[in-house]
Amino acid sequence: MGYAIALSALLIAGTVAAVVALRRTRTAPGATDLDAEAEANRWLIRLGGSLMPPGASSWANNGTTAGRALTDAAECHRTARSLLAEARTAAEYERVTRTAQEGLRHVEAAREALGQAAEQASAAPEPAPLQGCFGVGSGLARTGAAENNP
């Protein structure tokens, strides 16, 4: 009878320990897919808002460099929206975030080409260089080439 009580106590203690360990692993700190999705969506909305400031239609007519940079930013926006629709993992959402941030850099390049100061400084650090929205290098390099070749 003593063995049965000891065995029951061990089983109960083991079950409690397993449940506690399982709950701790589920609530471990770190970005979840939902957090990554929210972050990607935030950057995409920010890019979309940057593409539509007052007088943005006149930007494209004021210079080749500015027009090209805005075109590249719009392409990044379309690419990021498409990637967001298909994303399911944190890594895929991170790619959406980087693409939207690249688009914001294109908007900033357009503002610089027009001699306008940035309305808002980016709160996030610069992301690592990307393959680009177009799959062959960063579109910012093309913007610089357009500036040198009127």
d(CA 118, CA 74) in angstroms, rounded, equals 18
Q: What pLDDT sits at residue 118?
A: 56
Question: Binning pLDDT at 50, 70 and 90, where does residue 85 land?
Answer: very high
Instruction: Say how many domains are in the chain.
Output: 1
**Domain range for residue 66?**
33-148
d(CA 49, CA 55) in angstroms, rounded, equals 13
- Average pLDDT estimate for 99-119: 84
Q: What pLDDT sits at residue 33?
A: 82
> How many other C-beta atoms can be found within 10 angstroms of the C-beta atom of residue 48?
16
For residue 22, is it within any domain?
Answer: no
For residue 7, is it within any domain?
Answer: no
Question: Binning pLDDT at 50, 70 and 90, where does residue 146 land?
Answer: very low
> What backbone torsions phi and psi does residue 27 show, to the nearest 5 degrees?
-105, 25
For residue 47, is it within any domain?
Answer: yes
For the segment 120-136, what is each residue's pLDDT rounded down to a tens digit?
444 444 544 444 565 44
d(CA 123, CA 112) in angstroms, rounded, equals 18
For residue 10, is it within any domain?
Answer: no
For the segment 25-80, what is each residue's pLDDT rounded down to a tens digit?
665 555 688 889 999 999 999 999 888 766 666 665 666 788 888 889 999 999 99
d(CA 2, CA 5) in angstroms, rounded, equals 5
Sign, Cα dihedral of 54, 82, 123, 32: positive
For residue 24, is it within any domain?
Answer: no
pTM recorded for the entire structure: 0.58
- Cα atoms in the 13 Å half-sphere on the side-chain side of 72: 31
For residue 45, is it within any domain?
Answer: yes
Q: What pLDDT sits at residue 87?
A: 92
d(CA 69, CA 102) in angstroms, rounded, equals 11
With b meaning 16 or more CB within 10 Å and e meaning fewer, what string describes 64-76?
ebbbbbbbbbbbb
For the segment 3-39, what is each residue's pLDDT rounded down to a tens digit?
888 888 888 888 888 888 877 766 555 568 888 999 9
For residue 8, is it within any domain?
Answer: no
For residue 6, is it within any domain?
Answer: no
Strand, coil or helix: what is 61? helix
